[in-house]
Structure 1
Amino acid sequence: MMQVSVFVPEYGVIEAITPPFRSFNTANEFLTAFGKKPIFNVEYVGLNKFVPANNGEYTVKTDRLLKDVSTTDLLIIPPTYGDTLKGIEANAEAIPYFTELYKKGSSVASLCIGAFLLAETGLLNGKKCSTHWAYINEFKERYPEVEVEDGAIITEHENIYSSGGASSLWNLVLYLIEKYSDRETAIMISKYFALDIGRDSQAAFTIFRGQRNHTDVEIQKVQDYIEKNYEEKITIESLADLANASRRTFERRFKLATNNTPIEYLQRVRIEAAKTFFEASRKNVTEVMFDVGYTDTKAFRDIFKKITGLTPIDYRNKFAKTSYEV
């Protein structure tokens, strides 16, 4: 069973605390209905047995104290209610536990401005994350070493996930359910809770949606081309030609628009595609490597690990759907 621990922050937002808990439990019900084994063991964890939510309007009873959680597969961090600094101060005791769990191998996901609590650990330094658009400037000022993807719905970096504002937390919850179980279950969850799953196929590059929040039409055309032809040999010169610009001008415009260099963007697209193959097929590492446009095993392994935090083999072993088959 996969352990999913939903942290209940002191004065957290009840509308963000209950969705992941309910969704993963409901996923178990659908898996059972499909004739499969339930795979999620879901719990509320917190600093205290009873935790106030919102402005004290609600109280959530936790299943375990955070200090008693030595390991978990997925830790979810919802946002706090009201002033972010007060939320950080009220939950300061939890920060070292977040860090320790991640170092022991837990995946960590922040919802909305739960990113503030996650960023307090320092785990986001040098990485990308999402948070509510209204808090981006405050977040950047407090955590200058973290790269915020303005407008991104979901961000994923080295087993750390984050969602943007408000209802986008559902996008992340659905994404994680699909990743750890299967798309059929995620679709059923989206229908059950009347949600737009937001993706027509497993091959969509979710983490790049926020990088289209710009008005450079030529760069958007290049992004489309990369995402449709990532398995082919692509040169910077050919992309610059597509954008009707010199190489130097093109690289500057691409970085300005997407916050990635063209090479970084191509790498991320290819690795996203590789992750999808590992999750949904029985292909081995070499087959996937060729399928996504790489011919050098070491280069593929190094780039994959840099982006995901895992080697291709470790990722396949952890996320391949076949590992959950009855």
Structure 2
Amino acid sequence: MVQIGLLLTKKHRLLSIAAILDVFETVNKFYSKTEESVPFNITLLHTNDNQYDRTDMIMNYSAEDIKAAPLKELILVPAFNTDDMEQTIADNRVFIPWLIQQYKQGAHIATFCTGAFLLGATGLLNGKIATTHVDACNGFATAFPDVKLRSDKTLTEDGRLYTSGGATSTFHLLLHIIEMHCGRDIAVRAAKIFAIDINRDNQSHFSTFQPVRNHHDELVASAQQKIESRYNDAETIEEIIKDIPASRRNMVRRFKQATGMTPIEYLQQTRIEAAKKLLEQTSQQMTEVIYNSGYNDPKAFRKVFRKAVGMTPSEYREKFQLN
């Protein structure tokens, strides 16, 4: 029986906790119905400065303080429900040395969605691959530059560390863990119950470009505004930001420091996001979409779009068009 510890972090997303428990409980029932030994035993892990009586009663799971908990084979870190990740990680800092200790003693650690930020804060992911919610990737890359972030991936595995992307990617990592311990047949059976496409390995098409704006650099903010207003009628980034009172080198340096990307990357992201909205919300011909999102070369557009989104423009429209 695999001994699993599920962290009850501060500001955890309750839906993440519920999904994790539901999947493992479902698999355990596969075995209990045939009077076989269940494969997973889950304990909720908390700190003594939190009160989880209500949660424990609802979930009907045993709970332990991490200071008294024995070594776990597998530790699960749920997603966070927060708009201030830096403060949330600070609020959960008591888990950091404990996770390091557990890992050094042989535990496997799996994080779901933005739970990867807590694992990133331990330093255990440095030099290793990881993923997180696709819209949180810029913040993660800024906070943990030594991690090999794979923003396109649904899940990653590097040694004894596992991470997953956002939302339904949780289920893909859970199925991966189930397959490791119970075999492919049980994983497929669980995938059918939860209606999960077990082979999906890319989450790029779920992303939404969310520019960083709280950097307080007026020069960069002006450049952002110019890019967002002129992305579809200017051929080069130089043409867009030519009136910004700064050298190109200084502008690129400040822009990347403030937003996490270069002006050219920002322009590309803005154009691709515009194209996605046109594909979702209009019936424009593909040539119109290409032109209205700022591209003149259809071949170049399709290449950039597929690299950024993980599918062709036509596939994206078929999947997400609203009308």
TM-score band, normalised by shorter chain: 0.5 to 0.7
Tell me which residue corresponds to 2:22: 22
Tell me which residue corresponds to 1:183: 184
CA distance in 1, matches of 2:43, 2:59: 15
> Partner of 1:156: helix, strand, or coil?
strand
- Structure 1 gaps of 5+ residues are 200-205, 214-256, 259-326
Which amino acid in structure 2 is aligned with residue 46 of structure 1?
Answer: H
In the TM superposition, 1:218-257 aligns within 5 A as none
Tell me which residue corresponds to 1:168: 169
Aligned length, in residue pairs: 205
1:189, CA displacement in angstroms?
2.2
CA distance in 2, matches of 1:22, 1:65: 22
CA contact (8 A) 1:12 1:52 kept: no
Task: Tell which deviates more after alignment, 180-189 or 68-77.
Answer: 180-189
Tell me which residue corresponds to 1:137: 138
CA contact (8 A) 1:31 1:185 kept: no
> Partner of 1:76: helix, strand, or coil?
strand
CA contact (8 A) 1:152 1:211 kept: yes
> Partner of 1:50: helix, strand, or coil?
coil
CA contact (8 A) 2:165 2:203 kept: no
CA distance in 1, matches of 2:66, 2:197: 31
CA distance in 2, matches of 1:152, 1:90: 28
1:187, CA displacement in angstroms?
2.5
Tell me which residue corresponds to 1:65: 65
CA contact (8 A) 2:96 2:122 kept: yes
Q: 1:64 to 1:9 in 2, by over 3 A?
A: same
CA contact (8 A) 1:81 1:87 kept: no
Which amino acid in structure 2 is aligned with residue 117 of structure 1?
Answer: L
CA contact (8 A) 1:28 1:40 kept: yes
CA distance in 2, matches of 1:181, 1:118: 26
1:52, CA displacement in angstroms?
9.6
Which amino acid in structure 1 is aligned with residue 125 of structure 2?
Answer: L
CA contact (8 A) 2:188 2:198 kept: no
- Structure 2 gaps of 5+ residues are 207-306, 309-323
1:66, CA displacement in angstroms?
1.4
Aligned-residue sequence identity (percent) comes to 28
CA contact (8 A) 1:51 1:62 kept: no
1:92, CA displacement in angstroms?
0.6
Q: 1:115 to 1:22 in 2, by over 3 A?
A: same
CA distance in 2, matches of 1:35, 1:186: 19
- Greater Cα radius of gyration, structure 1 or 2: 2
1:149 is aligned to 2:150: yes
CA distance in 2, matches of 1:52, 1:153: 33
Q: Give the TM-score of the pair, scaled to structure 2.
A: 0.58
Which amino acid in structure 1 is aligned with residue 180 of structure 2?
Answer: K
CA distance in 1, matches of 2:137, 2:205: 17
1:35, CA displacement in angstroms?
5.1
CA distance in 2, matches of 1:59, 1:30: 19
1:60, CA displacement in angstroms?
9.6
Tell me which residue corresponds to 2:99: 98
Tell me which residue corresponds to 1:230: none
Q: 1:94 to 1:13 in 2, by over 3 A?
A: same
Tell me which residue corresponds to 1:115: 116
Which digits, 9 at most, give the CA deviation of each residue in 1:7-40, with x for residues without a partner?
A: 1111110011121122212211102334532121
In the TM superposition, 1:291-306 aligns within 5 A as none
CA distance in 1, matches of 2:53, 2:141: 28
Task: Tell which deviates more after alignment, 24-33 or 138-147.
Answer: 24-33
Q: Give the TM-score of the pair, scaled to structure 1.
A: 0.57
Tell me which residue corresponds to 2:276: none
